[in-house]
Amino acid sequence: MTTLHEFKLPAIDGAVTDLATLRGKAVLVVNVASRCGYTPQYAGLQKLQAELGPRGFTVLGVPANEFGAQEPGTDGEIQSFCETNYGVTFPMLGKIVVKGPGQHPLYQWLTSAAAPAGDVKWNFEKFLINGRGEVVGRFGSGVAPESAELRSAIEAALG
């Protein structure tokens, strides 16, 4: 795979998400977890979605349980948690493996196409994708959604 737009994955509601529908949008792909110290970042991610969505931006939440087993729930439980606690409206994929044995091809691509390349280190790591589906930024878990560093990179990706 060479762009984000070539992937199709299960959505959190069981439907198929064809990432080709995101062509032309700046996308922030984030591996998320419901029981992590970074879980409150959902609020900042939702704020980015609300503010920048109308300009062609979307967050794409990717539940994963590889780090401290901090996402043990089913897709339905995760969806309910996100909607109830954070009012999440951005697209959420079904839970996948983002690191190690069974790593999903999406994360094989993201972690090799990003600079720096390499495994995801923890929950709430962020990959910024431009409208052509190319990885243009990678941000660690400690980079908050409201940070100037992330915001300026998203603005650049939006053009």
Structure tokens at 32: 């998320």
- What DSSP line would sit under the chain, residue for residue? --SGGG-EEEBTTSSEEEGGGGTTSEEEEEEE-TTSTTTTHHHHHHHHHHHHGGGTEEEEEEE---STT---S-HHHHHHHHHHHH---S-BBPP---SSTT--HHHHHHHHHSSS-S---STT-EEEE-TTS-EEEEE-TTS-TT-HHHHHHHHHHH-
Which residues does the annotation mark as catalytic?
A: 36
What's the longest Cα–Cα distance across the chain?
38
